[in-house]
Amino acid sequence: MLRFLLVTTLAALVLAENEPQPRYLENLEERVVGGEVARPNSWPWQISLQYKSGSSFYHTCGGTLIRRGWVMTAAHCVDTSRTWRVVLGDHNINTHEGTEQYMSVSRVYIHPNWNPNRISNGYDIALLRLSTDATLNSNVQLGSLPPSGQVLPHNNPCYITGWGRTQTGGQLSANLKQAYLPVVDHQTCSSSSWWGGSVKTTMVCAGGGSLSGCQGDSGGPLNCQVNGRYYVHGVTSFVSASGCNTLRKPTVFTRVSAYISWMENIMG
């Protein structure tokens, strides 16, 4: 069974018969296991995606700053019409620390093949055009994208990052957290005792052990180490209904390297 990692939406989406049901990570009944508070601004491309309700903004998803005026996130985070803003350079989302940059979103580009009723088809990726360009500094940097088509090997070291909840009805983590999730290769992840056909080659699996953490929000980055530096290889998409640290049900991400040409065509 699938479950999205979105904060605000409670409704499960109805899929075709015999398709697994999605599930939203922050509504899990059990405590999310693993992870630790990140060193402030140690993932300077991580953003908080927030929506307006009344006169206030509320965190709902993560995302990655990939150009000064562009953010990458998950399609399911932004496929409803809302007033969005992006917060850059944040660590504690409940406190103004002086390092933040607040940007309104001028346009949302959702992948044209995204279908919320067919989550396991993939295409869970979107781009946000910011109204103004970010100012890059020690707290705000661009995430590095992988070369088009690159697929990481089994057990490649990666970290998920986000402000996700740690228990049902609990608060969001005020401070950005990180959890170590090594890559599970597609052959393993798509085998019948793992995710089976729910996982496509345009996705990346990571984690899947009893100690794996996955408190990162939907849309946020899977930061993977390649040749000594971090590249954003995944956009956080869905987890198992049985819990995100379920054995053989690793967290599933949109594989960024499968969508490089689509993103470049939009961003120009």
Q: CB within 8 A of 97, min separation 6: which ones? A: 40, 90, 91
185 is annotated as an active-site residue: no
Tokens of 92: 């504690």
CA dist list (Å): 60 to 24, 38, 93, 112, 160: 12, 19, 11, 22, 16
**Is-contact 255 203, C-beta < 8 A?**
yes
91 is annotated as an active-site residue: no
Tokens of 2: 């699938």
Q: Which residues pair with 49 in a beta bridge?
A: 61, 86
Distance separating alpha carbons of residues 63 and 9, to the nearest angstrom: 17
* Catalytic, out of 48, 91, 111, 124: 124
**Is-contact 69 132, C-beta < 8 A?**
yes
Tokens of 200: 């496509």
96 is annotated as an active-site residue: no
* Catalytic, out of 76, 111, 186, 233: 76
* Catalytic, out of 120, 173, 212, 218: 218
Distance separating alpha carbons of residues 225 and 114, to the nearest angstrom: 28
Q: Which residues pair with 130 in a beta bridge?
A: 105
DSSP 175: B
CA torsion, ordered 87, 92, 98, 100, to nearest 10 deg: -10
**What are the helix and strand counts (H, E) for the chain?**
3, 15
**Nearest CA among 246, 197, 193, 186 for reference residue 25:** 246
The catalytic residues are 76, 124, 218
